[in-house]
A = this chain, B = another copy of it.
Amino acid sequence: MIKVGIVGGTGYTGVELLRLLAQHPKVKIKAITSRSEAGMDVSDMFTNLRGRIDLKFSDPADAKLNKCDVVFFATPNGIAMQQVESLLQEDVKVIDLAADFRIKDVAEWEKWYGMKHACPHLLSEAVYGLPEINRKQVKKARLIANPGCYPTAVQLGFLPLIESEAVDINYLIADVKSGVSGAGRKAEVHTLLAEASDNFKAYGVAGHRHLPEIRQGLSIVAKKTVGLTFVPHLVPMIRGIHATLYARLTKKIDLQELYERRYEKEAFVDVLPAGKHPETRSVRGSNLCRIAVHQPQNSDTAVILSVTDNLVKGAAGQAIQNMNILFGLPETMGIDQIALLP
C-alpha cells in the first residue's frame, strides 16, 4: 500500500483527493493536515465522507509526512515551495496541486504570482504533470507540478493542432468557462450563490495566471513562442470547464482523424464523433477530458471544444493519475468512476 499524506485538505482539491483516494485499492491515507482545523473530524467539514474517512485534520507539525511515500500539496500557492525540499531529502515524492513549480522561468513566475520563489533550483527538476505529454518524465519524477484546471483543458484541446503544424500559432484564442468551484472554498462575496447564480461574466481579461502556464506548455510543443489570447469566464455551476478554442488553419487537414489518432491510446481523453458537442456534465466527477473538433462553414477557422471536471482531471484526479504512473500502477486505478448524470 502506498502511504499518502495530504497537506492542506480543507479546500475542494482536498475533499476530492479524499473522495478518490478513499476508494483507491492501493492507497492508505496516513495524514491530512490543516493548521486552522487541526483536531476536527474530516467528515464534519465534508459531510459526504461520513463513515468513509475516519481521519481528523492534523497539525502539520504532528503529521509525520516524512514517513509517507508521497505527499500531495492541496495548499494555496507559495506553501509547497517552502516544504518540498525537506520531503525530497527523505525520499518522499511530492505532487503539488498548486502553481509553485509549474512555470520554468522564475522571473515570469514571480511576476504573475507576486512573491519571491522559495526554491527556484527545483524548478528545472520539477516535471509538469500532464501525462498526455510528459508520461515518461512523470514515471521517474521526484517532484510533480500538477497542471492548473484551465491549462489542462486548453492544452489537451490545442495539442494535436499545434503538433500538426497546420495552424497559425501567433493567433490562438482560448475562450474558457469554469464552474465556481474553480475559485476554491474561500469565503468571498463574488462567488456567493446570490451573486454568481443566474449570472455570467468574464474576468481577468487583462491577464490571468493560467495564461503563462498555457503559453509555456504550447510553446514547448510548438518549439517557439505562441501568441495566445485567454479569456476566462465564470459559469453558474459547481464543477466543469468548457474550453472553446479557435485557431486559423494554414493548410488542409482532417481534424477529426488528427485528434482521434493522437488520443487513441489515452485512457482519459475521449474524442467525440464528428459533429458532436461535449457537455461538462458528461465528465462530472470523472477524470475524463472529452473533445470535439469543428470547422464551421468550411472556413479556415478550427473550433475545438474541450471539457473536463476542474476538480478531477483539472486537479485531484490528474494528481492521482500522476501518482499511479509514478508508482507503476495501472494509470486508471481508483479514478475510473463514471460521470454522474444527471
Interface residues of A (CB under 8 A from B): 12, 15, 19, 22-23, 46-52, 171, 173, 175, 177, 179-181, 183, 185-189, 191-203, 205-207, 211, 227, 229-231, 233, 235-240, 242, 244, 246, 248, 270, 272, 275, 277-286, 290, 294, 296-297, 299, 301, 303, 305, 307, 311, 337-342
Q: How far is the CA of A280 from the CA of B199 in the complex (A)?
A: 5
Contact assessment for A203 and B277 in the assembled complex, using a CB-CB cutoff below 8 Å: yes
- Which residue of A22, A186, A206, A290 has the most chain B CB atoms within 10 A of its CB atom? A206
Give 27 A-B contacts (CB < 8 Å), ordered by A residue.
A22-B338, A48-B282, A48-B283, A48-B341, A51-B270, A175-B246, A179-B198, A180-B192, A185-B189, A187-B188, A191-B194, A192-B192, A192-B193, A193-B236, A197-B198, A198-B239, A199-B240, A201-B279, A202-B277, A205-B277, A207-B296, A229-B297, A229-B299, A233-B242, A233-B244, A235-B235, A284-B340
Which residue of chain B has the shortest Cβ distance to A286 in the bound complex? B48
Q: Are B236 and A194 in contact (CB under 8 A)?
A: no
How far in angstroms is the closest Cβ of chain B from A306?
Answer: 11
> Roughly how many angstroms separate A307 CA and B238 CA in the complex, as a whole number?
20
- Distance (Å) between the CB of A325 and the closest chain B CB? 20
Contacts of A196 in B (CB 8 A): 193
Query: Residues of B contacting A341 with CB < 8 Å?
Result: 15, 19, 46-48
**Which residues of chain B are near A203, meaning CB under 8 Å?**
277
CA distance A200 to B181 in the complex (A): 14
Beyond contacts A200-B240, A230-B296: 7 other A-B pairs, Cβ-Cβ < 8 A, are: A47-B279, A198-B238, A199-B280, A205-B305, A229-B297, A239-B342, A284-B340
Q: Which of B197, B201, B233, B283 contacts A193, CB < 8 Å?
A: B197
A297 CB contacts on chain B under 8 angstroms: 206-207, 211, 229
Q: Given B177, B189, B246, B299, which contacts A200 in the complex, CB threshold below 8 Å?
A: B177
Bound CA span A46–B338, Å: 11
Q: How far is the CA of A227 from the CA of B301 in the complex (A)?
A: 10
Residues of B with C-beta under 8 A to A286 = 48
In-complex Cβ contact of A19 among B199, B201, B303, B340 (8 A): B340
